[in-house]
Amino acid sequence: MAAQNQQEKWDVHTHTTPAPETFDALARFSHYENFVRVRAESGDRCRAALINHRGEAVRHLHRNAWDAHARLAECDAHHVTMQVLSPTPMMLPDYVESEDDAAEICRILNDGNAEIAAEFPARFTALAALPMHFPDAAMRELERVRRLGMRGFEINSNIGGIDLDHPDFFPVFQAAAHSNMAVFIHPWGGFMSPSEGPLRLRMHAQRNWRPWLIGMGMETALAFDAMRCGAVHERLPNLRVLYAHGGGAFPAMLGRLEHGAYSRPDLFRNSPRLNPFQTVHECAVYTDSLTHDPWMLHLLLQHLGAKRIAMGSDYPYPLGEVDPFDGVTQRDTHGNQRPYAQAKDIHPGHMVERLPENESEIEAAWRHFHWLPRGNADGPRDLPMLSAAEKQQILSGTAKEWLRWS
């Protein structure tokens, strides 16, 4: 049954994992240092953990990471009409040196999400994983998942440390454009897990979750810069590419990127024809709405327009647009105490739906953003506004355009 709501709400940024039942079947890949699989928590069918090659739990999960019925219940609770399923980024086999193993891991990830989408086609659609280090295998899998009904694929911000404009990857992007498949770029690796000793110390996860909070934004900016400087966007202007987490840092750096080429043309002799602003405006560049900040969302709106911003929540993970803390107990499902004084009442689409449509609604809107400062050094500041048409475009219209949903 479809979620009942006056507005459609499509969530383009959600992740899945294989079910714990696949734990033993995936054992043959556990010799890879970066391989993770899902193991059920002892005595609890609703909880599991991502297990690395050493048998250590690197992340705890709930049933909504793999179970369609659990996801449906939460979609209904948050009035989400459609979820776009994509693999958990760390599970993409960018680290695998065997073509056969990389292709098999992708098939396992893809078949699981394709089955969910086929069982509930009105509520879920799916993006694929591709063995990007092996372009021929990637293109074969791209064609296979297209026949399964998938609408595109997810890739990380770099492929095992290689920028996305490497010539080996272009045929995959070209095939995606030819077959009308969308691309979702998600940050992973690189600045989040550097190999250089000093940088690794500076980016360590114990320092206020720095790799996720700052490294992710840097990685997404690097991915955009690679796709632009390598002329991937320019050569394939109709390739629909959506950058996760509100585009990371790149929307705030467009002016600096453009001015750099103006100031030092000697360093840009091989640069593409389109400057950063032109790339965003003339090519099919999209972002999700996951900024956690209404003024950053407003910046995205100024640069891209509502037709290039799609609602995304990062469900079901902690950085997503869902408040994990219970309003009564003040704790999350792991027993962690709420770190802020009041519930934020965050849900998928919160940042879009709660912004005012006119000046008279601004005061009411502030109640939904009570944790944000209402002023700066110059005095009071107002929340940005979204029209009803812009809200609906971001909540569902852009997702349908990006996915070419008819």
pLDDT digits (tens, 9 = 90+) for 46-77: 889 999 999 999 999 999 999 999 999 999 99
Alpha helices (runs of H) in 24-81, residue ranges in sequence order: 68-77
Query: pLDDT value at position 345?
Result: 84
List the structure tokens of 185: 């770029």
pLDDT band, residue 6 (cuts 50/70/90): low
Q: Which residues contact 19 (CB under 8 A, 6 or more apart)?
A: 38, 66, 67, 112
Closest CA to 211 of 199, 225, 222: 199
Nearest to 336 by CA among 322, 325, 320: 325
* Tens digits of residue pLDDT in 123-180: 999 999 999 999 999 999 999 999 999 999 999 999 999 999 999 999 999 999 999 9
**Above 50 in pLDDT, residue 15?**
yes
For CA atoms 246, 114, 163, 56, give the dihedral sign: positive
Is 322:343 a contact under the CB 8 Å cutoff?
no
pTM of the predicted protein model: 0.95
State the number of CA atoms in the 13 A half-sphere of 131 facing the CB: 23
Q: What is the largest CA-CA distance in the chain?
A: 64
pLDDT (tens digit, 9 = 90+) per residue, 70-124? 999 999 999 999 999 999 999 999 999 999 999 999 999 999 999 999 999 999 9
pLDDT of residue 5: 42
Instruction: Tell me the mean pLDDT in the region 200-220.
Output: 88
> How many residues can be counted in the chain?
406
Specify the higher pLDDT residue, 336 or 379. 379
Residue 200: pLDDT band by 50, 70, 90 thresholds? confident
Instruction: Answer for the pair 12, 84: CB distance below 8 angstroms, yes or no.
Output: yes
Amino acid at 107: R
**Domain 91-105+132-403, what fold?**
TIM Barrel (3.20.20)
Q: Exposure pattern of 21-36 as b/e (b: 16+ CB <10 Å)? A: ebbeebeebbebebbb
Q: What is the pLDDT of residue 311?
A: 98
